[in-house]
Amino acid sequence: MKCIVHTAKDLVPHSTRYGIRYSCPVGGCSVVSWNGNSPADYSTRQARIQAHNKFDQLWKSGMLTRRNAYKKLARFLEIPREKTHIANFDLDQCQRTLQFAYEILEDKSGQAWGL
């Protein structure tokens, strides 16, 4: 697995208590992959966490089932369901996931989404 910034560099695995953390050997580079998820820089990793938290509210609140929430997100992002893993999203997909979740959470009637 290569760094997405320093594309010639292999990410170096270290085991941690949270799993395996692959990091770029170049000093100051923030690119990391956890457990083989697609490597991302710091801001993308933060965006993934934010998008995941907001998205999870959809099914944790009971507005949608978890399965249905993922199905709708896949359709919204126009990607196959099996590729709908927020842990692998890029920055743009994270921002669109946030937008998706906000729109549903604010549209309590659910009409726009055919809930």
Provide the binding-site residues for Zn ion, judged by CB under 5 A.
3, 5-6, 24, 26, 29, 31
Using the minimum distance from each CB to Zn ion, give the nearer residue, 26 or 112: 26
Give the nearest distance from C-beta 17 to Zn ion in angstroms.
Answer: 24
Report, in Å, the least distance between residue 21 CB and Zn ion: 14
Q: From the CB of 12, what's the least distance to Zn ion, in Å?
A: 11
**39/84 with CB nearer Zn ion:** 39
3-state helix vs strand vs coil in the chain, percent to 5? 50, 15, 35
Instruction: Name every residue whose Cβ is closer than 8 Å to that of residue 28 and which is 6 or more positions away in sequence.
Output: none
Could you give the CA distance from residue 33 to residue 2 in angstroms, rounded to a whole number?
10
